[in-house]
């Protein structure tokens, strides 16, 4: 399989693409280039994503959210990865010596998928980390969910917002409490997530609290896309504000920097969903910051409309819509390339231990 920047081709997709006249592989001149729709193949993270049978392509920036970092390189097992954030990733095969100082790996290299050899000392010096896919680690908690006690319906149902009859000053966006602060182990929530990104399919995502500490809430998630399962997790800070909570749900897997709410409004009222009534607040906000990709920062604006209730576990989101816009350089005429996507969430079910 040839190397293709941003590629995520299966064997079948590659064969079909070549038969249709697409290029076998693509190596751009600069790292800021977008993947080519005229080429088929895989890049380093696309190769790992295929080996792990993931429903979506991951990047070297997003693989960390699917993995636990190992304490040392010596603990690596076949099929696990060594990853350089925003750089390169290789799939571990075996050790080449008794001292475990040199490893054999598979990787989508500069021209093709191939078998290679690396010194551990060199990988460490270059900032590579040994990672284990979360579901294969002993600390992964079985996602055995209890009976739902909120919502519980198979298809998304658009809710109805009823503003409070008495208008009050209301809370300010910056003053809203951190919704995950009171989370306890085994709480869970399930959403239908849809995105307008090209090639994206609606998914069913279940998030569960695996464990808590004084400062963090560790969650585990299972996402079903086209019948395939993808597992990942996150460590949420109890000190974060509502802004941090909203950014968790934007559907953006790339690192986001220096975000702030430039406009916001909070209304109180009742949200009616599938015949159930929730005391809730409606949050509308414009968030601005930067998206970090391939060693470059891009201007990013997120417009959010979110209905939130303390009666729903974790972030308390009942329904939400996020519209994102970011500027990806300039075209041949020097005009800015603005990419817009929309992500929606609908609560399907929720439960408590």
pLDDT digits (tens, 9 = 90+) for 258-300: 888 888 899 999 999 877 899 999 999 999 998 877 777 888 8
Alpha-carbon distance of 54 to 61, in angstroms, equals 16
pLDDT value of residue 52: 95
Alpha-carbon distance of 123 to 338, in angstroms, equals 36
Alpha-carbon distance of 4 to 46, in angstroms, equals 9
Alpha-carbon distance of 126 to 120, in angstroms, equals 10
- The share of the chain scoring above pLDDT 90, in percent, equals 57
Q: Which of 22-36, 102-116, 153-167 shows the lowest mean pLDDT across its residues?
A: 153-167
CA end-to-end span of the chain? 47
Assess contact for 188 and 207: CB atoms under 8 A.
Answer: yes
As a whole number, mean pLDDT of residues 61-89 equals 95
- The share of the chain scoring above pLDDT 70, in percent, equals 95
pLDDT value of residue 206: 94
pLDDT value of residue 319: 93
pTM: 0.85
Each domain of the chain, given as residue ranges in start order, spans 43-136, 150-351
Residue 334 has pLDDT above 70, yes or no: yes
Q: How many CB atoms lie within 10 A of CB 287?
A: 23
From 195, 219, 217, 191, select the one nearest 206 (Cα to Cα): 191
Alpha-carbon distance of 238 to 103, in angstroms, equals 39
Assess contact for 216 and 244: CB atoms under 8 A.
Answer: no
Residue 27 has pLDDT above 60, yes or no: yes
Question: Is beta strand 150-151 parallel, antiparallel or unpaired with respect to 160-163?
Answer: unpaired
From 40, 169, 61, select the one nearest 108 (Cα to Cα): 40
175: left (phi over 0), alpha (psi -120 to 50) or beta: alpha
pLDDT value of residue 185: 93
CA gyration radius, the chain? 22
Q: Could you write out the three-class secondary structure of the chain? A: CEEECCCECCHHHHHHHHHCCCEECECCCCCCCCCCCCEECECHHHHHHHHCCCCCCCCCCCHHHHEEECCCHHHCCCCCEEECCCCCEEEEEEECCCCCCEEEEEEECCCEEEEEEEEHHHHHHCCCEEEEEHHHCCCCCCCCCCCCCEECCCCCCCCEEEECCCCCCCCCHHHCCCCCCCCCCCCEEEEEEEECCCCCCCEEEEEEEEEECCCEEEEEEEEEECCEEEEEEEEEECCCCHHHHHHCCCCCCCCEEEEEEEEEEEEEEEEEECCEEEEEEEEEEEEEEEEEECCEEEEEEEEEEEEECCCCCCCCEEEEEEEEEEEEEECCCCCEEEEEEEEEEEEEEEECC
User: What are the pLDDT digits (tens) for 236-245?
Assistant: 888 877 777 7
CATH architecture label of 43-136: Alpha-Beta Complex (3.90)
pLDDT value of residue 302: 92
Q: Which residues of 240-252 are buried (b: 16+ CB within 10 A; e: fewer)?
A: bbbbebbbbbbbb
User: What are the pLDDT digits (tens) for 132-169?
Assistant: 999 999 999 998 887 887 655 655 667 899 999 876 55
C-alpha distances out from residue 290 to 253, 287, 297, 320, Å = 13, 10, 6, 21
User: What are the pLDDT digits (tens) for 161-217?
Assistant: 999 987 655 567 777 878 888 899 999 999 999 988 777 788 999 999 999 999 999
pLDDT category, 336, cuts 50, 70, 90? confident
pLDDT value of residue 275: 76
pLDDT value of residue 251: 67
Residue 27, CB-side half-sphere exposure with 13 Å CA sphere: 8
Q: In the predicted model, what is the mean pLDDT of the chain?
A: 88
């Amino acid at each position: 399989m040839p190397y293709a920047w941003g590629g995520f081709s299966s064997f079948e997709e590659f064969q079909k693409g070549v038969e249709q006249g697409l290029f076998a592989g693509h190596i751009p001149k600069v790292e800021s280039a977008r993947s080519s729709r005229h080429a088929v193949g895989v890049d380093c993270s696309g190769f790992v994503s295929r080996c792990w049978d993931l429903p979506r392509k991951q990047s070297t920036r997003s693989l960390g959210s699917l993995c636990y970092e190992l304490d040392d390189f010596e603990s690596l097992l076949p099929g696990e990865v060594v990853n350089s954030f925003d750089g390169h990733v290789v799939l571990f095969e075996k050790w080449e010596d008794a001292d475990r100082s040199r490893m054999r790996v598979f990787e989508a290299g500069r021209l093709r998928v191939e078998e290679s050899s690396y010194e551990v000392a060199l990988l460490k010096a270059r900032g590579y980390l040994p990672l284990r896919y979360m579901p294969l680690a002993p600390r992964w908690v079985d996602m055995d969910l209890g009976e739902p006690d909120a919502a519980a319906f198979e298809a998304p149902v658009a809710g109805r917002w009823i503003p409070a009859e008495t208008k009050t000053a209301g809370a300010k966006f910056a003053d809203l409490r951190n919704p995950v602060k009171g989370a306890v182990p085994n709480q869970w929530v399930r959403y239908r997530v849809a995105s307008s990104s090209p090639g994206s399919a609606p998914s069913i995502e279940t998030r569960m609290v695996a464990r808590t500490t004084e400062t963090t809430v560790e969650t585990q998630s299972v996402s079903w896309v086209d019948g395939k399962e993808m597992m990942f997790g996150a460590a949420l800070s109890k000190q974060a504000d509502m802004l941090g909570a909203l950014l968790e749900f934007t559907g953006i897997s790339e690192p986001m920097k220096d975000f702030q709410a430039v406009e916001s409004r909070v209304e109180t009222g009742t949200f009616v969903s599938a015949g159930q009534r929730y005391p809730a607040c409606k949050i509308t906000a414009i968030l601005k910051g930067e998206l970090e990709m391939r060693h470059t920062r891009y201007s990013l604006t997120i417009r959010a409309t979110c209905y939130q209730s303390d009666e729903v576990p974790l972030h308390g989101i009942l329904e939400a819509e996020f519209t994102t816009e970011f500027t990806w350089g300039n075209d041949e005429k020097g005009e800015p390339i603005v990419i817009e996507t929309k992500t929606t969430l609908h609560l399907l079910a929720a439960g408590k231990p």
